[in-house]
Amino acid sequence: MIVKICGLRRPEHASAAASAGADLLGLVFAPGKRRVSLAEGAAIAATLHQRPGRRPLLVGLFVNEPPATVTAVARDLGLDLVQLSGDEPPADADAIPLPVLKAIRLDGSATEAAWMARAARTIAAPTLTTLAADPTRVLLLVDAHVPGAYGGTGRTADWPRAAELAARLPLLLAGGLNPSNVARAISIVRPLGVDVSSGVETAGVKDVAKIEAFIAAARSA
């Protein structure tokens, strides 16, 4: 079970998530309360790159940014993957020389259907190693559908519909997950992995104990 901890803003929280066994660490470069500056993101990335041995893969989250901007930030910070969480067209994946996580919200739009078709070019479930090594890979991330929002809402995704999609394509499940419900979500959806942000926070700040509990619950599901 792949575990992604998103919305990290402090190097010490990134280090704690890495030590707890997180596979993917997300840095938000889009407007919102979890946004990090390029300098803050660089500090977190440097901390992770200096870790001996295995380290989590670094994911940069963007919303409706030009592919050239996404690529430049990824190059400068040494990101391993990028996450597109806005209304980007599938063509953006071909213009970014890194694996792409594409957030979808099961809204039935034509753009979403096109992203599903793009992801279906490679339906074999990746390992972390093969995911990071394939710059053409698109992996879907199912989040809650909240009109006008681009993630991080704490709302739960549509698990039954996500399960239908997970039976056809590998995906990560996000949206309202926390240490108490992640095992049940996994049992229903059967995703390749899970993604959490607000569910491992206390008063809007990442909580190391909750991060550890979330990872343990996901891995034992």
Which CATH number fits the domain that encloses residue 17?
Answer: 3.20.20.70
> 59 pairs with which residues across the strands?
26, 81
| Domain count within the chain | 1
From start to end of 126-206, where are the E strands? Answer: 138-142, 171-173, 193-196, 201-202, 205-206
What pTM value is reported for the model? 0.95
Average pLDDT over residues 123-147: 89
Catalytic amino acids? 6, 143
- Predicted confidence at residue 107, as pLDDT, reads 87
Q: How confident is the model at residue 122 (pLDDT cuts 50, 70, 90)?
A: confident
Interatomic CA distance for residues 63 and 31, integer angstroms: 8
The separation between CA 188 and the C-alpha centre of its own chain, rounded to angstroms, equals 20
Q: Which residues contact 11 (CB under 8 A, 6 or more apart)?
A: 43, 44, 46, 47
Are the C-beta atoms of 200 and 211 separated by less than 8 Å? yes
Q: What are phi and psi of 214, to 5 degrees?
A: -65, -45
Are the C-beta atoms of 3 and 57 separated by less than 8 Å? no
- Whether residue 145 is predicted with pLDDT greater than 80 in this model: the reply is no
Provide the residue range defining the domain that includes 41.
2-220
